[in-house]
Every structure is written in structure tokens, then in C-alpha cells.
A and B are shown apart, each in its own frame.
Chain A
Amino acid sequence: MTFSYDKDDGDDMSVEIALSKSSLGDVAKERAAAKTPGNAPLGSGLEARSIHAWFGKHHAVSDISLDFAAGTVTALIGPSGCGKSTFIRTLNRMHEFIPSAAMAGEVLLDGKDVYAKGTDVTKVRLQIGMVFQKPNPFPSMTIGENVLSGLKLAQLKVSDRDDLMQECLERAGLWSEVKDRLGAHAGGLSGGQQQRLCIARALAVKPKVLLMDEPCSALDPGSTLRIEDTIGQLAQTMTIIIVTHNMQQAARVSDYTAFFLSDGGPGSMIEVGPTNEIFSRPRDERTENYVSGRFG
């Protein structure tokens, strides 16, 4: 399945992703197979270079450089107020939504700076999708319309809308629960279902990178597990960056973990590495204290 923008302006950022319709098989094995060298790269890599962020005069994030390799899941952990959310909001340019916001640094998507002059911010956000902390389905739309709302909003054309809707809902683990009431209003779903609907909505525009800002913080354990399953499957086709306060979650879903901390000043990154190393033998004492639950 392919789709393209209404207007083809020759931008090499235009989306054309083939999606495997693989069902819910042995996820771990598939992911391992997909990551062996020689396979085509999955999603797109994202590089953050010396990112700083401010709110007015308040310096919230200081000098963070992180590479997110294509097809990996990276967890950002750290106590509240250490700049994790602010940092990921700089990645898809949602940071500038706040009037007093300012930033410095570069965010490279496929090697191109998303903050470069002349970059179309809507196309950046189309390729770097986002799932928010609080489920926020559109109240005036039905469940089905919510899933496809991204197409309408970004003015994309797609050949088979029903197929896409089903595929996205399946990948978000919601299809079996809502397939009989796609015409119902989204407000009638439970919190966990709403959040999975928001994930389905983010998938419909086929982002290369998906940012998740504490997607499970308002959910019960069952819904959390389903979303973690979903993350595992999604990582086959896209790069995922997830902010979480739940360290077990970080350990379960991520390939890499970055630990953020603010010592009263701006938040900065203390340590990054493969998840099992961060949790078993962190290099920094503060990381060890945090992951072992001694503070934070």
C-alpha cells in the first residue's frame, strides 16, 4: 500500500512505506530477524545534536545529543521535571507550540535538520508522530473517523481507507474490541481503549518515527501490557522513542535507555546505553541509584 501527498512538490521527505501485514506472531523472533544485518533499514534514524530548550528564561533542557537508530525502541527515564517530555517535543517541533519556547541544536531525520530554514513543519510532524500522555481522541468524530483523521488533517490520499483503518486498529491492538462500533463516538471508550485509538490514529499517517510521552501513565496494567505489545510490534517498521516513569516498562520494551536528570538547573542526559546494561551495570552512580529505586 502506498500513498502520497496531494501536491507532489518533489520533496524527498515524501512518504512511501511498504507495510508488512504480518499478524501477531512471535514478535521477539521477528524483531530479532528483522534486525540482523543485511535487512533493509526500518523506519528512519533520528539524531539529536546538542539540543537545548528554554521556556522564557527558564533553561529546561541542556545539551542533549542522542542517536536513535532506525527500528529501535529507546526509553527515556528520569525523575519528573528533568526535561524528558520537553526534549521529545523538540524532536517533532511540538516544543514551539508554547509561545515562550526557544531551542538550540539540530534534529536530523534521515540526515536532514528538521529545524532547517524552509522545512515544512507539518511534514516533519507527519513523519515523526506523537502519542500524548493523556488520551486525546477527537470528540466530534467517531472511532473510525478518529483513526483516519490524520489523512484528512494532513490532506493525504489513500486508496483503501477501510483496509488502512483495520490495519491501524489491529496494530494498535484495538480492532477486536471496536470492530462492531466504528461509527460510535470515541468518547465512549475506556481510557486504555482511547489511548490505543490515539496510537492507531498516529499510525494511519505512517510515521517513520513515533514519539510516546508517557503513553501508559493513566492506564491500568492490562491496557499497559497491550500497549507494550503494540510497541514491540511497531518497532519492526518504525523508530520509537518512549518517555516513561515505569522502569519495568523501560526494561521490557526498549533496546536502549537514556537516563535524564536535573540537579536543580536544566535537565541533562547522564547516561545512555543498551537497556540491559543501564539496568544491570550502569556506569554512573546516579543512574544506579535511580534504576534501583533509591531516589526519584
Chain B
Amino acid sequence: MTLSAAQVAPQKPWQSSPKEMAPTFLLLLASLAASVAVVAITPMKGKLAYAFLFFIFGTASLSIRKWRIRGRAAAADAIVSSIALTGATLVFTPVISILATTISHGVKGLHWSLFTQTMFSASYQDPISAGGLLHALVGTLYLILISMILSVPMGILTALYLTEIKGPGANFIQFIVQAMSGVPSVVAGLFIFASIIVTTPIKASAIAGAFALSILMIPTVTRTAQEVLLLVPNDLREAGQALGATQWKTVATIVVPAARNGLITATILGVARIAGETAPLLFTIGGSDKLNWNPFKDYQGALPFYVWKGLLMGTPESIQRAWTGILILLILVLLLFVAARTLGGRRMKSK
């Protein structure tokens, strides 16, 4: 019987049906049972033993089955797939674990007065319902904002110099950028302390902290932006110049818009690099517990600093504060990422 065109339903013949999946599933179940049995009768004990044995049994049984159905190459394919899946799981586990631990510990301390009060009149050992971290939130936002204002233009312009202009000294600058991305963060803080706070009228404040963070952020932004700009096909640069554009016009109207999403990613990675840094802030922001709206003067707080202080105190209440501070820092960074992505995506669509 032939079907008319209207009666043909879209199908996916390349996908396995549940019936075909069943043996694989059964083999995995059997591997699990085997690993439980081996743990029970041998001296191997612990979660790690289960995971290791399950990996060995599962990989072996699946690849033997593939070998019998489709031959040696398929067996090798099954082994490599299984190793790759295990690797991906190993990488993914800590990320999930960190998130889960932070959320489960941090949520307990969440309440509204965190966002309206400071630690000026409360102690870290007080129950978490006393005091708040408004001062630290404001400080971190200032630090991120000023660091972005300083680092994003500088990073992207440096990347443009290195990939587009390739002017004199490009190799040397490339070397410096690479060396800078290896600077330990505490050194960045110490450098700003020695070169600015001690010798100039600028004292410990949000802007001094942002200087230190910029030392870390500029190389991150530069290197990511460079990678992204190198992905823009050379054809487009030639096409622009063949239309009688100067190099600057070609870069501004063609290369940068073509790389826009990647440049936003570069900015996000730069912010991610600095948002949780504590070490550069130790000597540069003063770590105040008081709300300070002036980023250019007086001691400033910051979320990582708040977390660090909480951990140092070591009482259950102060450690609870630290967990909640970490959770709020995570949420803040996540919000910034989402904002950057949607702002970037929207302009693309409206065009």
C-alpha cells in the first residue's frame, strides 16, 4: 500500500526504538548488579569502588555486545564513547557539586534584611537575621562596573591592535599579555598598594580595588577577544577594503559587528575572572562594614571580602554568613551574564 504525500508522517529512522535500547539498558543494569556483588565479596569498598567497577563492567559488556553485532571497529567505538562520557561526567560532577552545596547551605541564611542592612551595627557572630550585606553588594557592583569600564575597552583595543593592525611591537605586547595572564592575583593587589595607595592621594577605595582587578581582567578580555577576532574570515576584511574603506572603517563596521557575540563573551569571561577575587582586594579596598556610595573615596566592602571575613571568624553564624554571601555572589554573576547575553542578542535581532 502506498501512502499519499499528506499521509506520510515525519519519522526518525536513525533513532533506536525502546525495544532496541532494551539490551543496552539490561547490560547496564547487570553491570550495576555485578559491581554491587563484587564490592560485597571483595575487600574493595566505598563509592569510588562502585563507580570504578560499574565503569569497567559497563564498558566491557557494551563493547562485547557491539563486537558481536557489528565487529571490532564498533567495539572500539563503544569503548571510546564510554571513556568520553566518563570524562564529561568527571568534569561536570564538581560543577554540580559546588552549585548544590552552595545553594543548600546558602539558602538557609537568605532573608530580606540582607539587602537593606550592613554589618556596621552588627557582628559576624550575631545570628544572620541581624545585619546584612548591602555594603558588600554595592562594593562588588562598583568594583565590577569600574573594572569593566577600565578593562573592556583596553582589552578589546589591544586585541584589535594585535589581530588587525599588527603594528610595531605586536609580538612584544602579545608576550606581555600572556605574562600578565599568569600574574598571581595577590601580586596585582600588592602592586596597586605599593604603586598607588602608598604613593598617590588615591587611598584604599573601590577605584583602587578596581585598578587591581583590571590587571587581572585586561589579559583575559584581550586573549578571548583575540581568539574571536581571528575567527572573522579574512574575506570580509578584503571585501571591506575593496569597497574603498579605510582599515579603521572596515574594522568598525564589519569585523567588530561580525565578532560581536564573541566580544560579549570575552567581557563575560573577564567579569567571571574578577567577580570572586579576594586576594587583590585585601590591600586595596579596606574591607569596610559600612555602606559607602562613593567609589572614589573611603573604605569599601565587597562580597568576596564579606565571605572571607565570615570564614575567618569561624563561628557557625559567621560561616552561615559566608555561604549566603557566596550564593548571592553566584546569583549576581549569573544575572550579569543573562543581562549581557540578552542585551547582545536583542540588538542582533532588531537589525
Question: Is A139 close to B, CB under 8 A?
Answer: yes
Select from chain B the residue with minimum beta-carbon distance to A140: B257
Asked whether B254 lies within 8 Å of A154 as measured between CB atoms, the reply is: no
Residues of B within 8 A of A153 (CB): 240, 243-245, 249-250, 253-254
Whole-angstrom distance between the Cβ of A169 and the nearest chain B Cβ? 16
User: Would you list which residues of chain B between 239 and 278 have a CB under 8 Å from chain A?
Assistant: 239-246, 249-250, 253-254, 257-258, 260
Q: Mark A119-143, 1 if CB is under 8 A from B, else 0.
A: 0001101110110101010111110
Residues of A within 8 A of B243 (CB): 125-126, 129, 149-150, 153-154, 201-202, 205
Question: Is B20 close to A, CB under 8 A?
Answer: no
Question: Is B167 close to A, CB under 8 A?
Answer: no
Question: Is B236 close to A, CB under 8 A?
Answer: yes
User: Would you list which residues of chain A between 133 and 176 have a CB under 8 Å from chain B?
Assistant: 134, 136, 138-142, 145, 149-150, 152-155
Interface SS of chain B: helix
CA of A201 to CA of B233 in the docked complex: distance in angstroms?
Answer: 18
Residues of A within 8 A of B246 (CB): 122
CA of A155 to CA of B237 in the docked complex: distance in angstroms?
Answer: 17
Whole-angstrom distance between the Cβ of B349 and the nearest chain A Cβ? 10
Residues of A within 8 A of B244 (CB): 122-123, 125-127, 150, 153-154, 205
Residues of A within 8 A of B166 (CB): 99
CA of A88 to CA of B245 in the docked complex: distance in angstroms?
Answer: 19
Question: Is B238 close to A, CB under 8 A?
Answer: yes
Residues of A within 8 A of B249 (CB): 152-155
Question: Is A198 close to B, CB under 8 A?
Answer: yes
Residues of B within 8 A of A145 (CB): 351
Select from chain A the residue with minimum beta-carbon distance to B246: A122
Q: Which of the four size classes fits the interface of chain B?
A: 20 to 34
Set A99, A123, A138: member contacting B239, Cβ < 8 A:
A138
Whole-angstrom distance between the Cβ of A147 and the nearest chain B Cβ? 11
Whole-angstrom distance between the Cβ of A184 and the nearest chain B Cβ? 11
Residues of B within 8 A of A155 (CB): 249
Set B236, B253, B257: member contacting A136, Cβ < 8 A:
B236
Asked whether B351 lies within 8 Å of A140 as measured between CB atoms, the reply is: yes
Residues of A within 8 A of B260 (CB): 140
Select from chain B the residue with minimum beta-carbon distance to A137: B239
Asked whether A134 lies within 8 Å of B235 as measured between CB atoms, the reply is: yes
Whole-angstrom distance between the Cβ of B244 and the nearest chain A Cβ? 3
CA of A94 to CA of B237 in the docked complex: distance in angstroms?
Answer: 11
Residues of B within 8 A of A97 (CB): 237-238, 241
Residues of B within 8 A of A122 (CB): 241, 244-246
Whole-angstrom distance between the Cβ of A58 and the nearest chain B Cβ? 20
Whole-angstrom distance between the Cβ of A14 and the nearest chain B Cβ? 12
CA of A99 to CA of B244 in the docked complex: distance in angstroms?
Answer: 19
Asked whether A136 lies within 8 Å of B258 as measured between CB atoms, the reply is: no
CA of A95 to CA of B351 in the docked complex: distance in angstroms?
Answer: 34
Set A125, A132, A152, A201: member contacting B235, Cβ < 8 A:
A132
CA of A142 to CA of B349 in the docked complex: distance in angstroms?
Answer: 11
Q: Known pairs A130-B242, A149-B253; list 18 more (Cβ under 8 Å).
A: A94-B241, A97-B237, A97-B241, A99-B166, A122-B244, A122-B246, A127-B244, A134-B235, A136-B236, A139-B236, A139-B258, A140-B260, A140-B348, A141-B351, A154-B243, A154-B244, A154-B249, A201-B239
- B residues sitting closer than 8 Å to A (CB atoms) are 166, 233, 235-246, 249-250, 253-254, 257-258, 260, 348, 351
- A residues sitting closer than 8 Å to B (CB atoms) are 92, 94, 97, 99, 122-123, 125-127, 129-130, 132, 134, 136, 138-142, 145, 149-150, 152-155, 198, 201-202, 205
Pick the 3 closest A-B CB pairs, nearest first: A126-B244, A153-B245, A140-B257
